[in-house]
Amino acid sequence: MKHLFFFTSPLRDKILSLFLVLAAIPALLLGWITLVLLDQAHRQDVLVIEHETLRAKEEEVTTFFSDLMGVLDVRLEALDAAEITPGIDQWQSRLAEALRAEHDEFVEVLFVSPEGKETARASRTPRGGPLLYVSDLPAFKTALSGMPYIGSVYYTATGPNVVMASPVRAGEEVVQVVIAEIDLSLLVRSLTAHRLGETGYIVLADNRGVYVGTESFGSVKPGEHIVALIAQLDETDRYESIFSTTAVAGAKRVLLAGWTLIVEWPLAEVDTIIDDIREQIIVVVAASMLGVVFVAFLFAARIVYPIRSLEAGARRIEQGDFESGVFISTGDELEELGKAFSAMTKGLKRLQELKNEFVFIAAHELRAPTTVIKGYISMILEGDAGKFSGTLREYLTEANKANEQLLQLVNDLLEIARSEAGKIQIQVVPLDIRESIDTIREGIKPLMQEKRLTLSYERPTHALIVQADAVRLKEVIMNFVTNAIKYNRERGTITISHETKDVGVVTHIADVGFGIPKSEQGKIFEKFYRTAAARESGLQGTGLGLFITKELIERMEGTVWFHSEEGKGSTFSFSLPKGNDTLSS
Amino acid sequence: MRIYVIAIIGFIGAALVFLIMFVGSSDVSPPPALTVPQPHAYDNPVELTADIQVTAVYFVPQGATPVPTEVWHTLLERELARLQKFHDVQFRGSSRVTYTIHPQAVVGRETHAAYDINLLQHNDPQVLRPVAEEILDGLKISLDTASPYKILLVLYEGVGAGGSKHVALLSRIFFERSDTRDVASTFFAHEFYHALGVPDGYRTAKKVFPDGLEVDVELIQSRDIMGRVRVPLEEAYLSPETLTALGI
């Protein structure tokens, strides 16, 4: 599977990109839209719940003040002017006491004459002292003008309080003012006891933005200014709360008193459900993305893989392999293409066989007359046809060389044709490779002497048994050695040595000749390939020797390689499997 | 792999991260910056009162008979503790009162008459000066420090009450007389807040009756502890306006 993902393929990349863009972007957009809509719907739900809570609490606070104001809204209809003369305080005292008893929240109720003098006082706890002049008080002034008054919160040891005042009318005339101190503890406790969900809460601030509470809440103390919080609620509904933790909040003004109700609902609870859903959506989107990426790879690879198979098949044909064919099972046009390709391979194979047959026949037919020519030239040169001039000898010698080369080419072509036709018989037996080399050493002496070369053979003292065909092994060694002679420098050396390794017996044939340039080293075993230096040197050769040698070594289950440095020489090595020590007779 | 494939995969990854981090998640604002109270003397932001140090002294004019030490000491302890509590409620804990009670009664060099202290002049700073200077000289105390805000609180064995910047004085008799003992603590706190510079919450005005009779009356301007003293301390308070002038 690895090759499906990690090979380089521009086509795969293009398909992959297209697939990713077409599949991932819609999935991402869908995820984005879902999350946004979900968030908006959730926020709307929370706002509705908060709004309902605030509306209910605003009604409670308004009712609270309305009830108290209703109690203080005294209308004197049965009395005449003389009876309500300031200073006659009997009815005021009784009424003050009655009003105070009306609600537990009344700490003190007092009547004040239009001149500003207290005329009666009723307190929850007895209070002595003279009746005072209060005409400077805003509560008195406001109520005297006919308007109800609700002041700002203040704190006593018992908790938050507020002053309320209301005109006392006889007909339309304001004949007295009633001022009351209101204990807000019950109202505040009622508000703070309310819960929105499990952790949401209500906070009350007075008309100056002062927190109305009975005890500290978070970092906020009763009476502390929270104007900044109320102002912030105009801009955002989600913030780090000063009362608890991160919360979603809302506010509503209590119009009657000018006070503000604030509701805060910790996000930890508000977002519990939505966070779970959000998490699930994100997991689905993320999994989709991963799936898209994986499928995109798979999809692209599936399209590219058959094309790659065709490419590989073409390369095999290029290397002469007509057997493999191409097997594609995609069930579509690509599979048909693969079948057509395989059919074409069979056709090419047939053509190759015909060509080989032709080459084989041609080479075979050429070899007989070439051999005959060689025999006759040899006989002439040896004088069997009588004496001849020096010029004729010179010409015959050249003709003989050309015929030798032609014969070599014919033999090589015949060898290749046999090999490709599978007609070369290889009979592998255990044999001592030293003996093969010894035989060759004798045969190459004349060639060595021509270039005054020295052969150094590091002959092992013990037998080196390999699994090889005796004839083909000599052919292989001869080929390497004749190359070493041919491409060596004058007075150079040739060194033959052996190594015994796990893979088998390795034989090295090293020369100190031209060497092979790096750029040509990859082609040296190709058919008909000759290096530029060999071609330019005028040395005879067909370019088939190393190809045949390699074929023979591989047929004997060996391997061949070389190391060469231009100008310093080459070392050709080949390995053959080890044979057992018992030689065949 | 081509760079544009890596870029597309990177874009998808980045989009996923963006989706997880930002889309549909709560954008939470920082908490509001509430105004931190900086308590100070009345209408004087320079003299900070976050830390108020009271030195309480029982002062006996020449010729007057002191009550036993345990009586005045216990009284001072109780009233200072109540004052602390009241102050803590009114100042939301932003100002702290600590006190020390001088262990011995301080006997004045003059008689009560010579100090000329009376109720009608109780917020006149000049009236308190002879007593205050005599005590401060005798005890080697200085009230002129930037912080803490120092107050000399005098329990006076005589008749009278008064307060001015850094000094407050109240007759011990207030705690004994039947008409004042229930509200004596309020008087005590009232004078204490004079020592923070808070003025009275009432004024004297002329009341003219129909028969032409003209009398002075006290017209209260605030129902808080500075305007209306005859309420128990538990029901007294400092008005929002007064607290604003004190930096709360």
Q: What is the DSSP letter of A19?
A: H
In this complex, the residue of B35, B221, B228 whose CB is nearest that of residue A228 is B35
In this complex, the residue of A36, A38, A242 whose CB is nearest that of residue B34 is A242
In this complex, the residue of A153, A228, A239 whose CB is nearest that of residue B34 is A228
Using the predicted structure, report yes or no on whether residue A491 has a pLDDT greater than 70. Answer: yes
**CB count in 10 Å sphere of residue A159:** 19
pLDDT tens per residue across span A155-175: 998 899 999 999 998 888 888
Quote the pLDDT of residue A408. Answer: 81
In this complex, the residue of B1, B202, B235 whose CB is nearest that of residue A107 is B235
Using the predicted structure, report yes or no on whether residue A399 has a pLDDT greater than 60. Answer: yes
pLDDT band at A365 (very low <50, low <70, confident <90, very high): confident
In this complex, the residue of A20, A35, A133 whose CB is nearest that of residue B218 is A133
Compute the average pLDDT of residues A98-118: 90
* Cβ within 8 Å, pair A127-B220: no
H helices within A522-583, ranges in order? 532-537, 545-555
Rounded Cα distance, A530 and A425, in Å:
27
Quote the pLDDT of residue A585. Answer: 43
pLDDT band at B123 (very low <50, low <70, confident <90, very high): low
| Best mutation target, B4, B6, B20, B202, to test chain A (most A CBs within 10 A) | B20
Using the predicted structure, report yes or no on whether residue B119 has a pLDDT greater than 50. Answer: no
* Cβ within 8 Å, pair B223-A163: yes
Compute the average pLDDT of residues A9-15: 82
| Best mutation target, A25, A136, A227, to test chain B (most B CBs within 10 A) | A136
* Cβ within 8 Å, pair B86-A157: yes
In a 3-state reduction of DSSP, which class is residue A82? helix
Compute the average pLDDT of residues A101-122: 90
Listed range (A102-106, A361-365, A469-473, B221-225) with the worst mean pLDDT: A361-365
* Cβ within 8 Å, pair A156-B234: yes
pLDDT band at A65 (very low <50, low <70, confident <90, very high): very high
Q: What are the structural domains, with CATH classification, of chain A?
A: 18-69+187-274 (3.30.450.20), 73-183 (3.30.450.20), 320-423 (1.10.287.130), 429-576 (3.30.565.10)
Largest CA distance in chain A: 185
Residue-averaged pLDDT of chain A: 86
* Cβ within 8 Å, pair B9-A228: no
Quote the pLDDT of residue A549. Answer: 92
Using the predicted structure, report yes or no on whether residue B1 has a pLDDT greater than 70. Answer: no
* Cβ within 8 Å, pair B35-A154: no
Quote the pLDDT of residue A385. Answer: 80
DSSP secondary structure string, A136-157? Answer: T-HHHHHHHTT--EE---EEET
| Best mutation target, B11, B34, B86, to test chain A (most A CBs within 10 A) | B34
Q: What are the structural domains, with CATH classification, of chain B?
A: 40-245 (3.40.390)
pLDDT band at A505 (very low <50, low <70, confident <90, very high): very high
Tell which wins on pLDDT, A352 or A428.
A428
Quote the pLDDT of residue B97. Answer: 96
In this complex, the residue of B2, B37, B237 whose CB is nearest that of residue A155 is B237
Using the predicted structure, report yes or no on whether residue B12 has a pLDDT greater than 50. Answer: yes
* Cβ within 8 Å, pair A267-B27: no
Quote the pLDDT of residue A125. Answer: 80
* Cβ within 8 Å, pair A227-B24: no
Quote the pLDDT of residue B157. Answer: 92
pLDDT tens per residue across span A453-468: 999 998 999 989 999 9
Quote the pLDDT of residue A82. Answer: 59
Question: Closest Cα of chain B to A500: distance in Å?
Answer: 44
pLDDT band at A81 (very low <50, low <70, confident <90, very high): low
Rounded Cα distance, A444 and A457, in Å:
13
In this complex, the residue of B23, B28, B85 whose CB is nearest that of residue A32 is B23
Compute the average pLDDT of residues A124-134: 80
Quote the pLDDT of residue B74. Answer: 96
Q: Is A18 on the interface with B (CB under 8 A)?
A: no
Which residues of chain B make contact with A289, given a CB cutoff of 8 A? Answer: 12, 16
**CB count in 10 Å sphere of residue A420:** 17
Q: What are phi and psi of A195, to 5 degrees?
A: -125, 135
* Cβ within 8 Å, pair B28-A10: no
Quote the pLDDT of residue A271. Answer: 86
Quote the pLDDT of residue A2. Answer: 46
Can you say whether the dihedral through the CA atoms of A338, A343, A347, A353 is positive or negative?
A: positive
Cβ neighbours for A85, distance < 8 A, ≥ 6 positions apart: none
Rounded Cα distance, B105 and B66, in Å:
8
Listed range (A176-185, A362-371, B117-126, B193-202) with the worst mean pLDDT: B117-126
Using the predicted structure, report yes or no on whether residue A282 has a pLDDT greater than 70. Answer: yes
Compute the average pLDDT of residues B4-22: 85
Tell which A residues from 545 to 584 touch B, by Cβ distance under 8 Å: none
* Cβ within 8 Å, pair B32-A232: yes
Using the predicted structure, report yes or no on whether residue A315 has a pLDDT greater than 90. Answer: no
Rounded Cα distance, A375 and A369, in Å:
10
Chain A to chain B, count of Cβ pairs less than 8 Å apart? 162
Quote the pLDDT of residue A541. Answer: 79
Rounded Cα distance, A433 and A579, in Å:
10
CB-CB contact of A574 with A558 (8 Å): yes
Compute the average pLDDT of residues A242-252: 90
Question: Closest Cα of chain A to B186: distance in Å?
Answer: 12
**CB count in 10 Å sphere of residue A341:** 19
Quote the pLDDT of residue B7. Answer: 87
Q: Of all residues in chain B, what percent carry a pLDDT higher than 90?
A: 53
